[in-house]
Amino acid sequence: MILTDEFSTSAGDGFPAALQDARRGPTFGVRSNGAGGTVTSYAFGVFSEALSSATIAMHHRQHPVMADGNPTSNYVENVGVQPDIPYEFMTMENLRMGGRPFVEAFSQAIADHIRASR
């Protein structure tokens, strides 16, 4: 199982997408950021220390995916990875309890997944 949230970008988008496409385990949490590409940096200018970043490759999904509010796509870019087990962790309950409900929820989901795969 892999946890995703809106801060899961780049490899944090690509790795869960690859696991999901290969059906190697469920994703848990909220939609990833959708910044799924391979980025590199280039020196910008001869006399400066500035860098310019550019996306040189985009992550492609094995099969088209549907995401609420987005068209069907084979890309991770701008769509992100939709969790197999959605769980919103930005709640007052999680805030008040130091994240305990979230930890209990994903721990239970892991245990359920292990039991189901026996």
> What's the pTM value of the predicted model, to 2 decimals?
0.80
Q: How far apart are CA 13 and CA 5, in angstroms?
A: 9
| Contacts (Cβ under 8 Å, ≥6 apart) of 13 | 32, 33, 34, 35, 36, 59, 76, 80, 81
Q: What percent of the chain has pLDDT over 70?
A: 99
Express each pLDDT in 42-63 by its tens digit.
888 778 888 888 888 888 888 8
Given a cut of 90, is residue 105 above it in pLDDT? yes
- Please provide the size of the chain in residues: 118
pLDDT digits (tens, 9 = 90+) for 67-91: 777 788 888 888 889 999 999 999 9
| Domains, in order of start, for the chain | 2-87 (3.90.226.10)
